[in-house]
């Protein structure tokens, strides 16, 4: 519905290398699910991102589940995003899913992923 559409697919820092998590939103009791990407250099650990996003989503009436994490290297000058690494706490996100979500927003970017640690 409308509220789910109001949640942005992607919120990441405009530049730099930082941690990210892949989140699944769901209405309590089932129904539509939606995956979103959140990442910021302000988060020292992956759970810091979750702890910030989760209450925001609960207010909108969603259950939030972390599907894993990793890192994003965002080069806005060259219009490139690289997705890699993993989260110690949440495990590795499916970076291929993350890339598909990023492509919806960064339509003119070259976006790649790998299982490299750095």
Whether the model pTM is above 0.85:
yes
Active site residues: 46
Determine whether domain 10-114 maps to CATH 3.40.47.40.
Answer: no
Residue 19 marked ligand-binding? yes
Note the pLDDT of residue 4.
61
Compute the distance between CA of residue 64 and CA of residue 23 in angstroms, rounded to an integer.
7
Note the pLDDT of residue 28.
87
H or E stretch at 4: helix 2-6
How many Å is the Cα radius of gyration of the chain? 14
Note the pLDDT of residue 2.
61
pLDDT in tens, 38-61: 999 999 999 999 999 999 999 999
| List of the chain residues with pLDDT < 50 | none
Note the pLDDT of residue 3.
64
CB 95 within 8 A of CB 83: yes
Note the pLDDT of residue 29.
84
What ranges do the domains of the chain cover?
10-114
């Amino acid at each position: 519905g409308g509220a789910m559409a109001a949640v942005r697919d992607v919120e990441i820092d405009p530049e730099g290398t930082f941690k990210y998590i892949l989140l699944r939103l769901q209405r309590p009791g089932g129904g539509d699910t939606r995956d979103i990407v959140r990442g910021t250099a302000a988060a020292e650990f992956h759970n810091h991102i979750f702890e910030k996003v989760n209450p925001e989503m609960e207010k909108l009436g969603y259950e939030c589940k972390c599907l894993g994490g990793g890192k994003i290297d965002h080069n806005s000058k060259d219009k490139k995003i690289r997705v890699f690494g993993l989260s110690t706490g949440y495990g590795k996100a499916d970076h291929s899913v993350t890339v598909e979500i990023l492509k919806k927003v960064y339509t003119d970017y070259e976006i790649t992923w790998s299982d490299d640690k750095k």
